[in-house]
Structure 1
């Protein structure tokens, strides 16, 4: 079975073209003011309209209220919402019902104790994004280039489709796939040449390496 790749934090038309050309399955757009990858609604709409049919467009938000989500979903043609904050399972269910879009919930993992949160979200989210838990005081909830101990989830049985994230690069993604059994992977900073600036060569290398896992 082929590994699906999500490239998150796209900010330029050439990024969308590189992601599509490399054969990735998902393109991620960030709506979080503190991120170097944050987009305006107009820029996000323009990028989403560049995406070819078959490339799923994902909006990443962090503890967004309904007003912001209304604005995003009204302005940008999307295929999925990614919730990357401290949203409760109840909030995930509310958002899924309100917008009628598939919802992916990110869960940060640093140790065994963090895995207990996964079960509650598997009951309400369409997909789970298993990410490295940010360090205390970190400005960003993701995209920090951090990995967690992948052995924590090796052999785990999942109730929903899931995606592995956190510190992945073209150099380690194949190992991560082999160790965890992930059939989907997500990357942002690992394919950048500067914060928020994607590198087409690294994107191609990442997608190729993921498929060799």
Structure 2
């Protein structure tokens, strides 16, 4: 089964409406972003996440003090790191907080990806591959070149990974048919006017699960 991650949730109402959907991970953005949540918001939001869904905190170069404060009050199951966090730091966080660590890597070119994967492979629990943007860490709504996915799959071996960047209910089926990734991550692709759209989330999940049922 393809792992589904819905990222950038900010609304209790939306979370309540999607509780019954077969979603694997829900992402909350703590890094500076228009989708950023405060500690108070995060505490309220995680209460609405069923135990069957993982709770992912999205960060960019977090400090230990920042993570200590958040994880003391928000029971995250995963940390997704979008900055220049060192491999040793990533490995430390996994042990320190007993969470899984996903390292997000921007897709620019194969040579840089190969170097980055080599650095982090074996020290993180998974990778997320997203479209490169010079000033934005994810949520761009833009696809990267899917032609690179076979090389990515070869480089990471058995490590779990998610494809992000420009996915939506209309194109996720194409991605799954062509490359069968371990998981898919969506944020802006299930929004309307900058806010999460319950119907688009349901459509996205339905497209993924329809593919799973027939393959």
Give TM-score, length-normalised by structure 1: 0.92
Query: CA–CA distance in 2 between the matches of 1:114 and 1:208?
Result: 34
Match of 2:70 among 69, 72, 77: 72
User: Who is 2:204 aligned against?
Assistant: 206
Structure 1 residue ranges, 4+ long, deviating more than 3 angstroms after superposition: none
What residue ranges of structure 1 are gaps of 5+ in the alignment? Answer: none
Q: Which moved more, 1:173-182 or 1:183-192?
A: 173-182
Answering whether residue 144 of structure 2 is matched by residue 145 of structure 1, we say: no
| Offset at residue 94 of structure 1 (A) | 2.1
Describe the superposition over 1:10-33 as per-residue Cα deviations: whole angstroms up to 9, x where unpaired: 001122123323221111001012
DSSP 3-state at the match of 2:47:
helix
Query: CA–CA distance in 1 between the matches of 2:210 and 2:112?
Result: 29
Q: For the aligned residues, what is the CA RMSD? A: 1.4
| Offset at residue 58 of structure 1 (A) | 0.7
Contact 1:151-1:179 at 8 Å conserved across structures: no
Q: Which moved more, 1:108-117 or 1:122-131?
A: 108-117
User: Who is 1:112 aligned against?
Assistant: 110
Query: CA–CA distance in 2 between the matches of 1:20 and 1:113?
Result: 40
Describe the superposition over 1:16-62 as per-residue Cα deviations: whole angstroms up to 9, x where unpaired: 123323221111001012x1111111110111011112011111111
Query: CA–CA distance in 2 between the matches of 1:119 and 1:211?
Result: 32
Give TM-score, length-normalised by structure 2: 0.91
Contact 1:154-1:180 at 8 Å conserved across structures: yes
1:64-213 matched pairs, under 5 angstroms: 64-116=62-114, 117-134=116-133, 136=134, 138=135, 140-154=136-150, 156-157=153-154, 158-195=157-194, 197-213=195-211
Count of matched residue positions in the alignment of Structure 1 and Structure 2: 207
